[in-house]
Amino acid sequence: MYKLFNPNRIMCGLLVAVSLLSAQKNKGQVNIVPVPQEMTIYQEAFFFDKDTRWIVETEEQSRLLAEILEFFRLSANYHYDIEKNEAVKNCVILRTSSTLKKEAYHLEVRSENVLLEASGASGFYYGITTLLQLLPSEIYSRTLQPGVEWKIPGVTVEDFPRFEYRGFMLDVSRYFMPKEDLLDIIDYLALHKINYLHLHLVDDNGWRLEIKKYPELTDIGAWRADRYNYFSARQNPVEGEPETVGGFYSQEDIKEIVSYAAHRQIEVVPEIEMPAHTISSLAALPHLTCPEVEEPVNVLPGIGGSQSSVIYCAGNDSVFTFLEDVIDEVIEMFPSEYIHIGGDEAWKDNWEKCPRCQARIKEEGLHDEEELQAWFVNKMSNYIRQNGKKVMGWDELTNGEIPEGATIFGWRGMGEHALKAADQGHPFIMTPARALYFIRYQGPQWFEPFTYFGDNTLRDVYEYEPSGEMTGAQYQYLKGIQACLWSEFVSSPEEAQYLVFPRLAAFSEIAWSPEDAKDWKGFLTRLDHLTGIYEKKGIGYSKYSMFNLYHTVSPQDGDLKVELSCIRPDVEIRYNIGHARPTGESQLYQGPFTIREGQVVSAATFQNGELKGRVLRLNPRFNKATGHKVVSSEPNSNVITNGLLGSEKMTDGEYVDLYDCGGEFVIDLEQIQSFKKVGLSFLNNYGRSVHLPSSATIFVSKNGNIYQEVASRELAFRERISEGIKHHVLWFNCNETNARFLKIKLGATGIMPEGHVLEHKPGRIAFDEVFVE
pLDDT in tens, 703-755: 999 999 999 999 998 899 999 999 999 999 999 999 999 999 999 999 999 88
Q: Give the number of C-alpha atoms closer than 13 A to the C-alpha of residue 468, restricted to the C-beta side.
A: 20
Give, in order, the Cα–Cα distances in Å from 712 to each of 492, 632, 641, 759.
Answer: 47, 19, 20, 27
**How crowded is residue 86: how many other Cβ atoms within 10 Å of its Cβ?**
8
Catalytic residue chosen out of the listed positions 67, 226, 329, 345: 345
- Residue 4's pLDDT band (cuts 50, 70, 90): very low
Note the pLDDT tens digit of each residue in 514-543. Answer: 999 899 999 999 999 999 999 999 999 999
Catalytic residue among 103, 117, 203, 488: 203
Are 289 and 282 in contact, with CB atoms under 8 Å apart?
Answer: yes
Q: What is the pLDDT of residue 13?
A: 31
Q: Is a pLDDT exceeding 80 seen at residue 21?
A: no
pLDDT score of 423: 97
Query: Percent of the chain beyond pLDDT 90?
Result: 90
CA–CA distance, 591 with 682 (Å, rounded to integer): 31
Distance CA 196, CA 431 (A): 13
Question: Which residues neighbour 130 within 8 Å (Cβ) at sequence distance 6 or greater?
Answer: 32, 36, 105, 107, 157, 159
SS3 call for 708: strand
Is the pLDDT reported for residue 497 higher than 70? yes
DSSP at 437 = B
Q: How far apart are CA 437 and CA 430, in angstroms?
A: 11
204 is catalytic: no
Q: Where are the alpha helices (DSSP H) in 198-338?
A: 216-219, 251-263, 279-284, 317-333
Tell me how far apart the alpha carbons of residues 448 and 433 are, in angstroms, rounded to a whole number. Answer: 19
What is the DSSP pairing of strand 587-588 with strand 572-577? antiparallel
CA 219, 225, 229, 230 torsion: positive or negative? Answer: negative
CA distance 212 to 209: 10
Lowest mean pLDDT among 225-229, 479-483, 497-501, 535-539: 225-229
Q: CA nearest 37: which of 85, 82, 5, 70? A: 5
345 is catalytic: yes
pLDDT tens figures, 533-592: 999 999 999 999 999 999 999 999 999 999 999 999 999 999 999 999 999 999 999 999
User: What's the whole-number average pLDDT of the chain?
Assistant: 94
Between strands 478-485 and 165-171, the pairing is parallel
- Annotated active-site residue in 106, 198, 200, 277: 277
Which residues share a beta bridge with 674? 738
pLDDT interval class at 488 (50, 70, 90): very high
What would the pLDDT profile of 295-320 be if each residue is shown by its tens digit?
889 999 999 888 888 999 999 999 99
Are 126 and 105 spatial neighbours (Cβ–Cβ below 8 Å)?
A: yes
377 close to 341: Cβ distance less than 8 angstroms: yes
Q: Provide the whole-model pTM.
A: 0.94
